A and B are shown apart, each in its own frame.
Chain A
Amino acid sequence: MKLLTHNMLSSNIKGVTNGFPLKIEAEKIIERPVEINPVFLKNMFAKLEWKPLVEASRTMGFSELPEDVPDMSVLDSDEFLQKFHHALLEIHLEEGALVCPETGRKFPVQKGIPNMMLHEDEV
């Protein structure tokens, strides 16, 4: 699972008002190189929640993203784009779990696929 997907996912257990961001418990992390696409990154930038992305990439062992929300001008620098791209699309959570911030419910991640199925009493 990419951090891009992590940044979009929220827990939708019944009664949870703010299921975002899910905490990451990483057991196995892999990196898969992908071709960089600056246009996509620029487009995506506005939709991302920056803080959760920085936090998530830290848990995954990549701490080169700036702490504070950078402004749009930074998107012109290749160095930043490279880091941004790496954090967003190249780091994959292979085994581990996602934890709902409100209820502490764990969604297991196996073989890179998060299991977001809810139990009957959570719907």
Chain B
Amino acid sequence: MTDRLITDVGGLPADAVPREEVPQLFWEKHMIAMFNVLWSKGVFNLDEFRRTVESMPLDAYKKSRFYDRRTDGMTDLLVEKGIIDRAELEARTQAVLRKGTRDAD
């Protein structure tokens, strides 16, 4: 099955389904809403987003979290389309982390 997409896990062997309820965090919900707005405004479409996930290295995909894949994929598309500069985003992300609060500036 070498030609499987990394996301195409249907039928592969796997362990028990984790049944723990994991509540969505506020930022995850907020991020999904922004994703929805960008998508409904036509900034990107769902097929483009899927392509960002499908082109991840397998190892990175396996280790990735669901909501991070959303943020990362959305970022990739915005960079690709020339809307966002990746270096600037990284610098500002680090600034948010240094500040340690949930305010953007």
Are A and B physically bound partners? no
A residues at B contact (CB < 8 Å):
none
B residues at A contact (CB < 8 Å):
none
